[in-house]
Amino acid sequence: MSKKQIILNAFNMNCVGHINHGLWTHPRDRSTDYRKLSYWTDLAKLLERGLFDGLFIADIVGVYDIYRQSADVTLKESVQLPVNDPMMLVSAMAAATQHLGFGITVNLTYEAPYLLARRFSTLDHLTDGRIGWNIVTGYLDSAARAMGRTEMIAHDERYDRADEYLDVLYKLWEGSWRDDAVLRDREKRVFADPAKVRKVQHHGRYYDVEGYHLSEPSPQRTPVLFQAGSSGRGQAFAVRHAECVFVSSQSKAGTRKLVDALRAQAAEAGRDPRDLKIIMGITVVVGRTQKEAEEKFAEYARYASPEAGLAHFSAGSGIDYSTYAPDDELAPPGGHKGRGIESSVQRVTDGRRGVTVRHLLEQMQLGGRYTTIVGDPVQVADALQAWVDEADIDGFNLTRTVTPESYEDFIDLVIPELQSRGLYKTAYAEGTLRDKLFGNGARLGPQHTGASFRDLPDVKADSTASQPA
């Protein structure tokens, strides 16, 4: 059995209903307090007590309006609506912690790369290098319409644009300022050496950027890069850019097939396959005994909303499953004019025929479709270890059920069991988030494509910049 130390992130969102829907109605759930800063700082301190590697914060632009061709269920059950900006949470949580990392989802389709580069550099400074970016390109037509488009950009073109977008960011983060550009020399009145700050000039198919990066070099420069694409084009993007890949599957065999494909492609691209950390989404309900865990699961299920989960799934697949009978087979993506997530049905079925809407609703007893583990601490640890060993993943994004109770239970009951097996750290390592995850320093490794953007052609800054006005 593997003794690889498990990476663990809390999976959350700046909203009421995230993955497991309907549980906001549980009397002990605090998710409706998401608008309060104390909700997030308390959560950050709790996760740091549990030695979590990070808080992974999802986000969505647009609303889920495919199911029943309306947003009614989305609004009634708060299916990721309302949803607030995730980036604004980080500074306060970073001030309340010393080690916890933060993986923030930002949709690049609707963000100017020049300004996003500064926002991430700012957070990298303020967190002492504990920031990561979950790169998404979006998939909702409702978002496209809200942003002035008639429909979402086609799937593969979204990734083509994203490839170029990342090239622009690497030029800004890695190439605009040399490591020794900032002098802070009070005596000579030179804060930064103009000869060591370079203007980025990018004129591509999708983006035209000319200018100096607005931020001085931050601890990591480039944030730790997360990505969740499972389609063929998504995998190609992940292999080029991602350091951590987020996957979701119902079977170990299906997950192993995806993991093997990602690692093989990474090797072909000249990267160390182990430079890809594969993180799987999972739900855990744990009790001190198996009976207690099963009773807790049944209690939670009474408050959960499988229909809200189906509304969420409909948006992801682009198919209105309200028009299906319970025993109708899940249709492949493309049944709705929306672009959807190409791999959404594949994730649930793992390629099997005969998976019906009824099967899907049975999976959604807690309102979500992620693999769910229910048991005592030993049983949960056994299951997690089996996923790591058999699927060759590196860790988990742990969803919330009743919050913060579900995280407290995991920390108090499961973490000690994992530690006793040598599968989980007993103290944080020092350094940035990238240091903690990979142990090879704060910067992108030399095999990563971003490292190739460090040696931009010199374009000297205005020579009068260092002269007093």
State the Cα angle at 224 between 223 and 227, rounded to 5°: 115
Distances (CA, A) of 298 to 283, 359, 362, 412: 14, 18, 13, 21
41 phi and psi, to 5 degrees?
-70, -35
């028009």: which residue's tokens? 323
CA distance 452 to 450: 5
Cβ–Cβ < 8 Å for 265, 229 = no
Structure tokens at 441: 């320093």
Alpha carbon distance 329, 199 (integer Å): 55
Helix then strand count (H, E) for the chain reads 16, 13
**Taking Cα atoms as reference points, which of 140, 167, 153 lies closest to residue 66?**
140
**Do the annotations mark residue 70 as ligand-binding?**
no
32 is in an annotated binding site: no
User: 179 a known binding residue?
Assistant: no
Question: Residue 466 to residues 188, 189, 196, 210, 456: CA-CA distances in angstroms?
Answer: 9, 7, 12, 21, 22
Q: Which of 82, 89, 95 is nearest to 37 (CA)?
A: 89
**237 Cβ contact list (under 8 Å, min separation 6):** 159, 162, 163, 227, 229
Long-range CB contacts (within 8 A, 24+) of 186-189: 189/466, 189/468
Three-state secondary structure call for residue 231: coil
Q: Does the annotation list 155 as a binding residue?
A: yes
Quote the tokens at residue 113: 């790369």
Alpha carbon separation from 82 to 19, 143, 223, 270, 401 (Å, rounded): 14, 14, 27, 43, 18
Query: Which helix H or strand E contains 146, and what residues bound it?
Result: helix 141-146
99 carries a ligand binding annotation:
no
- DSSP secondary-structure letter at 372? E
Report the DSSP beta bridge partners of residue 15.
83
Tally the C-alpha atoms within 13 A of residue 11's C-alpha that lie toward its C-beta: 25
DSSP state for residue 68 in the 8-state scheme: G
> Is 67 annotated among the ligand-binding residues?
no
DSSP 386-443: HHHHHH---EEEE--SSTTHHHHHIIIIIHHHHHHTT-S-SSPPSS-HHHHHHSS-SS
Q: Return all residues near 72 (Cβ < 8 A) that are at least 6 apart.
A: none
Enter the tokens of residue 324.
């299906």
Annotated binding site for FMN: 59, 105, 155, 159, 230-231
Annotated binding site: 59, 105, 155, 159, 230-231
